Homo-oligomer: A and B are copies of this chain.
Amino acid sequence: MEYNFRCTCPITSALDVVGDRWILVIVKLMLLEGRYTFNTMKESDEGIATNILTAKLKLMEGYELIRKEKLPNNKKTNIYSLTDRGLSLTPLIIELTLWSDAHLKDVHDTLKIGNEVELINHDREGVIAAIKSQYLAKMKDILNPDT
């Protein structure tokens, strides 16, 4: 292909979101591990401290990556869910997971996405769309179980 891709514009602003390890971790916890409460997030294998979790959740809310709500019948538990903007990070999370899978076999036995890797390579857009729609359906079910 005859093609010359150049991008000389700084990306530092984007990196406030995308270059922040904890933000990426939290999006991954919500999107790929199905976690949506403070405690389930802090209990993940990522080992995030509570003060950091508090700070990052607040930050992400400010960036409009996530939304914080409560269930009508439960006044104490906060439900965190990804906004459309947050979900727009899905391709990045996918690439991140693929990269981990390809380069960190030595660190972790497997990322447990095993044969999923083939699927992603075969129908990338389909997988991304499926992840998003299934996430939305699930969160809708949690926040609005009656309908």
> Residues on A close to B: CB < 8 A?
1, 3-15, 18-22, 24-25, 28, 32-34, 44-47, 85, 88-89, 91-92, 95-100, 102-104, 107-108, 110-113, 116, 119, 123-124, 126-127, 129-131, 134
Contacts and interface: CB of A to CB of B under 8 A. Distances in A.
B103 A88 contact: yes
Given A7-B111, A19-B20, A45-B9, A100 B1 contact: no
B18 A32 contact: no
Given A9-B112, A14-B104, 15 more contacts: A1-B129, A7-B28, A7-B33, A7-B111, A7-B112, A8-B112, A10-B108, A11-B46, A11-B100, A12-B21, A15-B21, A15-B96, A88-B102, A91-B95, A92-B96
A25 B7 contact: no
A126 B120 CA distance: 16
B134 A4 contact: yes
Contacts of A47: 10, 12
A139 to B, nearest CB: 15
A126 B1 contact: yes
B88 A7 contact: no
Contact of A92 (B3, B4, B95): B95
